Amino acid sequence: MTDLPGAPSSGYIRLCSGVARRLTRTLAPEPGDWLVGPNGLRLVGTEPVACTPQDVVLPRLSRLLQLLAAEVETFVIDYAGGEYACLAFDEAGRPLANVVARTPEEAVLRALVFVQTERAANAASDKAGPSGGANEQDEH
């Protein structure tokens, strides 16, 4: 399926179709993105593309960088030994994500999904409020 020139890696396709699906299903295909679905793998050109619910958007690297920049204050992409790392930080310089992958797209998408998942979990935890004995009163 990824024999096309410039096509995304099979690992990236699996990532977009799997754990990152919550994010990728919200994206409309744009020129330069790839789509994978019942009709196979295809590059999105300048003409509008109709998507089926089974189609998965595979965002191009520049789009992923924009999405990550909207989520975090600072991020760094590094390459060493055949692997890419993506490190993301908040406004205080605290690390939010540190992931390693075989392609830059996978590294950035994994960091983006990690940051969004952590934020959603923290928001849910904040909504639930403190648990345990916080509301207990001493009776004497």
pLDDT in tens for each of the 140 residues of the chain? 556 778 999 999 999 999 999 999 999 999 999 999 998 999 999 888 888 889 999 999 999 999 999 999 999 999 999 999 999 999 999 999 999 999 999 999 999 999 999 988 888 888 877 654 444 444 44
Per-residue pLDDT at 15: 96
Per-residue pLDDT at 140: 47
Q: Which of 39, 111, 121 is nearest to 78 (CA)?
A: 111
Detail the DSSP E strand segments found in the chain.
34-37, 40-43, 56-58, 74-80, 83-89, 95-101
Per-residue pLDDT at 139: 47
In angstroms and rounded to an integer, the radius of gyration of the C-alpha atoms of the chain is 19
136 C-beta neighbours (distance < 10 Å), count:
7
Q: What are the two backbone dihedrals, phi and then psi, of residue 123, each rounded to the nearest 5 degrees?
A: -65, -40
